[in-house]
Structure 1
């Protein structure tokens, strides 16, 4: 009888090799697919006779996906791109959409209006007709400010804890505002001020939201008054999670739930492993779907969102949480309009200030907290919905076409 002897160590090595080979194969395949998608153009025609062509350089994902609706519910910029197209079609324009990363697109037609959010205005400027209206669609603060703010946070962390972490939100600076006739901004006064140096007209269109929720009438504010949520995307230091973790580690009576992709930032996770996973009053959930029952459950168990970001283009994470009935405790740079009667603006975003404001708001009577949460919810329901975005974007595009179309016709 022949007995096959298998070397378990060798088997493990082969399995690991095949797994790694598969990983790299899929990685390369994703890169190829991404590059192919990067150079695609989605084109749309209006009903009736077109009066011109419009170019949008922003987000192509909704037009490549099998389910446009599913993609649009993942992030505000997906739906907003679709709505931008729809409104321009209503105006009678044929619309071409490319991704903002498309660095190979060359105009083959005359465009009446070109809208871009990063580098393409600068690149395409010599190729566009003189009478083309050029619009920067700013979904971030100016990148120079954005980068400098994160570097300052990383430097402060280095000096405070003796560690150096990577810059996760860094972007190459662009000169879009300098090549634009005007700018559309999703954020508030903070974001607007980072573009004022160019002395170009700036129009504000309030950021939309992917989800709306009924106000949590049955929420027990006496029970949740010491429970808070940090909710954000990548760039933990940029969005102040390091400060929040250090603050809550010193407040054992207050609880923090973290919803964000911290496990993808390996250096941050390693540096704050104890706070993230071995601190009794800190609960790390990870990334969460805001349309899920889990998100609603977490929101209903918390009093507010704590979000000391150093630079935002509209504070979409904060807006989502306010829709869920949370009280915002944020920085000015979070770029969300906050009044004292429904939220807190952190002036320094220091660990001590975070602790002070958390403890202060936790001590308020439950009835006062419910009233604040209600006003927070009412504010976003009135100012940050898809209906409001559509209304304001249509108004702003009308004004831009009227103002700049006439001035360019005179040249």
Structure 2
């Protein structure tokens, strides 16, 4: 009996001690942490960057895990401010507990923390909305419209996947200026009468040009590449378009199986249509991705709301010819690809047929132009140069 009581007491103590130990000594989650960077010499001011914090938490020598490309851009943005002489505090844009305890010269956020923090910042702090999406009202309207159109065609209701909390719609009302990534973004936020600065988005994938690509062999093969939000990103339209074009092949790369309602609604197209091949998620830095893009002619991506869609930029860096919506936010011309006048199923089919019917010389030329466009406009070094130009302009303007 005494042994049982002692064992029970020990178990209670270990459970209690474990909870206390976890409470006091475990590393906070990334959303709770603050990373501070200092310039050489005395700081000319402080900057609060609310964006992606993951890359700042990696120890020297530790391998860098796969993160969304925005994590690298966050590092670039912080480094620019440090190089310009500012001390920089970085928090995750999902950190809902951080409260400023000092004066800041600049505050940058993507929307989630904007209103909450802007309300308690010191007078004179320049508040920059870094718009990584369209305005939440437009984003939600566009996805709702796509869901309702699909509902009419397929007689089923699916869940929204890319809705943005409407409370974030107010971010721009508290901003002094806005950084946007494309012409669509400029148009989307123009209503607010705030200064808008164009900084092209970038992805950190520098794939080489492949001169040996066989364009005759791949002229009938296309790719859809995307993340969460199949309806939002137009996969339903692309599947229906290719299901009616058996001579053209489509490979689908994205987390389709995670959206069970979509997968069920489009099961025949995804898994029982001979010319449609559902791959699932793919590592865009892998040899497998390079092999796949070498066998495909173009990307078909009629998303309803983006700002410089990363999947489009990644595919263009791999030499694919983009067939995209205007709302993808990649400002390609006719030399590099096709921007759909509308995203109807028939318009998608017409664009695919038009591209595929071109000569092999023309296909090679368009593919090279697409790759060159991505190399010229959407490399990290381009983002860094454009963003620094904007910040230096703001410093001159607000230091008057």
TM-score, structure 1 normalization: 0.88
Is the counterpart of residue 133 in structure 1 residue 90 in structure 2? no
- 1:44–1:94 CA contact under 8 A, matched in 2: yes
Alignment of 1:10-409 (within 5 A): 36-66=29-59, 70-71=64-65, 74-173=67-166, 174=168, 175-186=170-181, 188-406=182-400
- Name the SS for the 1:291 alignment partner: coil
- 1:311–1:333 CA contact under 8 A, matched in 2: yes
- Name the SS for the 1:245 alignment partner: helix
CA shift, 1:64, in A, is: 2.4
How many Å separate the matches in 1 of 2:195 and 2:314?
Answer: 29
Q: Which runs of 5+ in 1 are unaligned?
A: 1-28, 407-411
- 1:62–1:68 CA contact under 8 A, matched in 2: no
Q: Which residue of 1 aligns with 2:18?
A: none
CA shift, 1:330, in A, is: 0.3
CA shift, 1:68, in A, is: 7.5
- Name the SS for the 1:74 alignment partner: coil
User: Alignment length, in residue pairs?
Assistant: 373
Deviations along 1:113-140, one digit per CA (max 9) or x if unpaired, are 1001113221122311111111000111
TM-score, structure 2 normalization: 0.90
Q: Which runs of 5+ in 2 are unaligned?
A: 1-21
How many Å separate the matches in 1 of 2:204 and 2:105?
Answer: 30
CA RMSD, Structure 1 to Structure 2 (Å): 1.6
Deviations along 1:254-301, one digit per CA (max 9) or x if unpaired, are 000011111111111111111111111111111111110000000000
How many Å separate the matches in 2 of 1:404 and 1:156?
Answer: 47
How many Å separate the matches in 2 of 1:248 and 1:352?
Answer: 10
CA shift, 1:223, in A, is: 0.9
How many Å separate the matches in 2 of 1:84 and 1:360?
Answer: 41
- 1:141–1:192 CA contact under 8 A, matched in 2: no
How many Å separate the matches in 1 of 2:305 and 2:381?
Answer: 26
Deviates more, 1:116-125 or 1:303-312: 116-125
How many Å separate the matches in 1 of 2:317 and 2:64?
Answer: 20
How many Å separate the matches in 1 of 2:206 and 2:67?
Answer: 13
- Name the SS for the 2:179 alignment partner: strand
Q: Which residue of 2 aligns with 1:12?
A: none
CA shift, 1:69, in A, is: 6.9
How many Å separate the matches in 1 of 2:363 and 2:63?
Answer: 35
CA shift, 1:338, in A, is: 1.3
- Name the SS for the 2:91 alignment partner: strand
How many Å separate the matches in 2 of 1:160 and 1:37?
Answer: 43
How many Å separate the matches in 2 of 1:341 and 1:376?
Answer: 8
Q: Which residue of 2 aligns with 1:7?
A: none
- Name the SS for the 1:152 alignment partner: helix
Deviations along 1:42-81, one digit per CA (max 9) or x if unpaired, are 111111111111000111111224578724x632201000
How many Å separate the matches in 2 of 1:197 and 1:374?
Answer: 37
How many Å separate the matches in 1 of 2:154 and 2:28?
Answer: 40
Q: Which residue of 2 aligns with 1:26?
A: none
Q: Which residue of 1 aligns with 2:17?
A: none
